Amino acid sequence: MFSVLCALRRIGADSVITDNPEEIAAADKVIFPGVGEASTAMRYLTEHRLDELIKGLRQPVLGICIGLQLLCRSSEEGNTKCIGIFDVDVKRFDNKEKPELKIPQMGWNTIEVKPNRLIEPKLDGSYVYFVHSYYAPLSKYTIAVTDYIQPYSAALHRDNFFATQFHPEKSGSVGEIILKKFMEL
Amino acid sequence: MLAKRIIPCLDVKDGTTVKGVNFVNLKFAGDPVELGKRYSDEGADELVFLDITASFEGRKTFVDMVRRVAENVSIPFTVGGGIGSIEDVEKLLEAGADKVSVNSSAINNPQLIDDIARHFGNQVCVAAIDARNVDGDWLCYEKGGRVPTSRHLFEWAHEAQERGAGEVLFTSMDHDGVKHGFACEAIAQLHDLLDIPVIASGGCGAKEHFLDVFKSGQADAALAASVFHFGEIAIPDLKEYLADNGVTVRKIKVQ
């Protein structure tokens, strides 16, 4: 989370880390990085009633990594019912057919960019940084595709909700371009 | 396709980079943050900062440095050196490090790997292993390679994975500093044995050595220090060379 804060500072955006509902509701933009394991993270959100709050947000929201997965309908990780912005069920990578591809996927992979408001066309084919064992399959919300074991959603969009499976805050200049764009939405 | 990673390693003592740096532009020499930023701009995929300070004061300086790296560098970085407890890890992660590497302390207290993985996730814990080939048997060493242990490379690497390490960073002490190439055979064996990524270290002196460690060693990442610090290999040239020879590497498309 500190790295997201640092990345925002580098692009000149003010931010605070908070779980305070009023503060979140009043923010211009909300970034939802999500940390750790899905069921634990989801339990924290429901206990603090943040799941309902996030669902009702009208300002631009950006989920990152587990944040993307928690914005989906469910996750295989801990059989978790998630927030459900995207009607997508998150699955675990299965490398039985391709044992040489390790799980988690860790490192830099490319994105194929579809027309959308967050990731500019010039970033098509760029490398971004991933660390994950679970993925969102392709869907009508997919705005960027990455291939690891099979093609899956590297980024999603629906209404005011955006989400990236990769870490823009760790993806060098490409990530900074995406974060800047998000701040301009 | 997932790219093979190139990782420069910086040894830091009392807040300054120790191994000499021989860049043309000397203002980068010394400050690990400036150096890290420069490598990042040149296309390094990750950075490793090793704290080789012994004193308490030096440790505090290192945490400050980690904070400055996090503020200035936009690629992932690992920190290591003298990490012996969850509290140490917490301090470094709070300062903005993405991963920590544990070496001697994990050999002496393997439970440390379980604890780091449970508290912060597997991806945070890099098991660093220094080993030397003694009569055909790879023996692990501790205390910066000075003290032999009863551990064997493959057995210990596997145990580290089972305990929750997210990556193994293997340094061949026989190859380190010699610049005749990586220990590709042992690295390939690690690759076959483990499900987690293997970072190869020790022995690189030329671009061909990187090609070799990715092709015959099947390493997921390669780490080097002096060839980068002394300007013997420039990262953009190295990546060009690897790409020309069929290795998937990340090239920077947009600045």
Q: What CATH number is given to the structural domain containing A146? A: 3.40.50.880
Select the residue from A1, A3, A8 to test the B interface by mutation, using most B Cβ atoms within 10 A: A3
Contact B1 A110 (CB under 8 A): yes
Can you tell me the mean pLDDT for A27-32? 96
- SS3 state of residue B140: strand
Q: Is residue B252 part of a domain?
A: no
B77 contacts B47 by C-beta, under 8 angstroms: yes
Q: Dihedral sign for Cα B184, B99, B2, A178, please.
A: negative
Calculate how close chain A gets to B165, using CA atoms only, in Å.
12
Strands B221-224 and A80-81 come out as unpaired
- Per-residue confidence (pLDDT) for residue B17, from 0 to 100: 79
Calculate how close chain A gets to B135, using CA atoms only, in Å.
31
Contact B74 A175 (CB under 8 A): yes
- Per-residue confidence (pLDDT) for residue A64, from 0 to 100: 97
Q: Is residue B53 part of a domain?
A: yes
Contact A102 B195 (CB under 8 A): yes
Structural domain that includes position B123: 5-244
Q: Is residue B106 part of a domain?
A: yes
Provide the token pair at B111. Answer: 């439970």
Q: Is residue B154 part of a domain?
A: yes
Looking at every residue in chain A, the average pLDDT score rounds to 95
In DSSP notation, A110-178 reads E-EEPS-SSS-GGGTT-EEEEEESEEBPP-TTEEEEEEESEEEEEEEEETTEEEESS-GGGSHHHHHHH
CB-based contact, B123 to chain A, within 8 Å: yes
**Residue numbers in A near B74 (CB within 8 A):** 7, 10, 169-173, 175-176
Q: What angle do CA A129, A134, A139 make, to 5 degrees?
A: 90
Q: Dihedral sign for Cα B180, B182, B184, B186, please.
A: positive
Structural domain that includes position A106: 2-184
Find the CATH number of the domain harbouring B126: 3.20.20.70
| Tally of domains in chain A | 1
B130 among known catalytic residues: yes
Which residues on adjacent β-strands are paired with residue A23?
Answer: none
Query: What digits encode the pLDDT tens for the residues A55-108?
Result: 999 999 999 999 999 999 999 999 999 999 999 999 999 999 998 888 889 999
B32 contacts B15 by C-beta, under 8 angstroms: yes
Q: What is the mean pLDDT of each run of 10 residues along chain B (255 residues)?
A: 96 76 47 91 96 79 93 96 93 94 95 93 94 94 88 98 96 88 96 95 95 97 91 94 97 69
d(CA B212, CA B184): 7
- Per-residue confidence (pLDDT) for residue B143, from 0 to 100: 85
Calculate how close chain A gets to B240, using CA atoms only, in Å.
15
Provide the token pair at B54. Answer: 């012994």
B115 among known catalytic residues: no
d(CA A163, CA A155): 5
Select from B195, B221, B253 the Cβ nearest to the Cβ of A125.
B253
pTM score over 0.90:
yes
B32 contacts B52 by C-beta, under 8 angstroms: no
- The percent of residues above 70 in pLDDT, for chain A, comes to 99
- Per-residue confidence (pLDDT) for residue B176, from 0 to 100: 85
| Tally of domains in chain B | 1
d(CA B99, CA B255): 26
Which residues on adjacent β-strands are paired with residue A164?
Answer: A64, A155
Question: Whose structure tokens read 């309908």?
Answer: A73
More confident residue, B122 or A164: A164
Pick the catalytic residue: B51, B88, B130, B212?
A: B130
- Per-residue confidence (pLDDT) for residue A150, from 0 to 100: 96
Calculate how close chain A gets to B216, using CA atoms only, in Å.
14
**Residue numbers in A near B167 (CB within 8 A):** 106
B116 contacts B88 by C-beta, under 8 angstroms: no
Pick the catalytic residue: A48, A76, A169, A176?
A: A169
Cis before A137 (ω within 30): no
d(CA A120, CA A181): 8
B225 contacts B47 by C-beta, under 8 angstroms: no
B65 contacts B49 by C-beta, under 8 angstroms: yes
Chain A residues with CB-CB distance to B under 8 A? 2-3, 6-7, 9-10, 36-37, 101-110, 122-123, 125-127, 129, 131, 147-148, 167, 169-177
Strands A80-81 and A112-113 come out as unpaired
In DSSP notation, A56-90 reads T--S-EEEETHHHHHTEEEETTTTEE---SEEEEE
d(CA B51, CA B83): 9
